[in-house]
């Protein structure tokens, strides 16, 4: 049985910021979906993506209301106001996380990992008190639910989907970060490891995303347990005369 290590007051405070941010993001999504659904009833479609939704909310707040009945317009204006208020609060929260990130050595070192940004780095720095309670990076990845389930019998090993056990918030942050890394590989292939492009040519995007998240979890454990920063692996044969 593995017992949860006691977090410091500083870590718990940072997690409070993360939990609040996560709630506000969900509420913003609900409001945007409500606005999108109500406008669709009048034949008005909004382009997908939070950027387009926020732009519409700003136009509505400025008085550029779509051609819909006054009563519906009043309700949608109220929803748009809530969206903008949440967006302001989210910016304030992210500034708080950025300040905490700059003051925390572990978070700064974790942010050197490709695909791990400020939000993800601070979440891990605040959540993992003692990385030495895990014997290896694989055990840490299993704790996050990023290792495949075993379906083996008769001496034959069969691996299924990932277990999705453990802290789903940390797992989601890693998957989102790796999705961003894959998107960067698509539009700026020179900015990422060339082996990633080769892997994407052979495997489905979703499989590669989860594999990268699994690998990143192991690197996170190594940095937290042993110190140092992320160093990109050298190509085979590099440095050989």
Q: Note the pLDDT of residue 148.
A: 74
pLDDT-derived band of residue 215, with 50, 70 and 90 as boundaries?
very high
pLDDT-derived band of residue 235, with 50, 70 and 90 as boundaries?
low
DSSP track, the chain? -PPPPPPPHHHHHHHHHHHHHHHHHHHHHHHHHHHHHHHHTTT----SSHHHHHHHHHHHHTT---S--HHHHHHHHHHHHHHHHHHHHHHHHHHHHHHHHHH-HHHHHHTTSTT--HHHHHHHHHH-S-GGGSSSHHHHHHHTT-SEEE--BTTB--EEEE---S-HHHHHHHHHHHHHHHHHHHH-GGGS-HHHHHHHHHS-HHHHHHHHHHHHHHHHHHHHHH-----PPPPTTTT--
Question: Does any domain span residue 161?
Answer: yes
97 shares a domain with 42: yes
227 shares a domain with 111: yes
213 shares a domain with 174: yes
pLDDT-derived band of residue 193, with 50, 70 and 90 as boundaries?
confident
Q: Residue 218 sits in which domain range?
A: 106-231
pLDDT digits (tens, 9 = 90+) for 136-171: 999 999 888 888 765 455 555 454 556 667 788 999
pLDDT digits (tens, 9 = 90+) for 12-56: 999 999 999 999 999 999 999 999 999 999 998 888 889 999 999
CA angle 212, 143, 234 (to 5 degrees): 30
94 shares a domain with 186: no
Question: Does any domain span residue 238?
Answer: no
Question: Does any domain span residue 56?
Answer: yes
132 shares a domain with 214: yes
pLDDT digits (tens, 9 = 90+) for 63-114: 888 888 999 999 999 999 999 999 999 999 999 999 999 999 999 999 999 9
Strands 148-150 and 159-162: antiparallel
Predicted TM-score (pTM) of this structure: 0.84
pLDDT-derived band of residue 58, with 50, 70 and 90 as boundaries?
very high
Q: Using the Cα atoms of residue 216, residue 219, residue 224 and residue 229 in order, give the sign of their dihedral.
A: negative
């Amino acid at each position: 049985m593995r017992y949860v290590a006691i977090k410091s007051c500083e870590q718990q405070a940072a997690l409070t910021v993360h939990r609040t941010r996560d709630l506000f993001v969900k509420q913003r999504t609900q409001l945007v979906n409500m606005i999108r659904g109500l406008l669709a009833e009048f034949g008005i479609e909004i382009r997908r993506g939070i950027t387009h939704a926020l732009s519409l909310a700003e136009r509505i707040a400025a008085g550029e209301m779509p051609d819909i009945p006054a009563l519906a317009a009043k309700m949608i204006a109220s929803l748009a106001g809530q969206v903008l208020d949440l967006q302001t609060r989210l910016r304030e929260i992210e500034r708080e996380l950025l300040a905490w990130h700059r003051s925390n050595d572990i978070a700064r070192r974790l942010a050197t990992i490709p695909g791990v940004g400020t939000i993800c780095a601070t979440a891990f720095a605040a959540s993992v008190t003692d990385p030495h309670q895990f014997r290896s990076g694989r055990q840490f990845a299993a704790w996050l639910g990023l290792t495949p389930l075993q379906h083996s019998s008769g001496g034959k090993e069969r691996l299924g989907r990932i277990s999705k056990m453990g802290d789903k918030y940390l797992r989601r942050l890693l998957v989102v970060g790796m999705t961003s890394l894959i998107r960067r590989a698509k539009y700026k292939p020179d900015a990422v490891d060339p082996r990633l492009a080769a892997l994407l040519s052979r495997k489905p995007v979703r499989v590669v995303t989860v594999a990268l998240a699994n690998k990143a979890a192991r690197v996170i454990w190594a940095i937290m347990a042993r110190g140092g920063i992320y160093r990109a692996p050298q190509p085979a044969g590099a440095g050989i005369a």
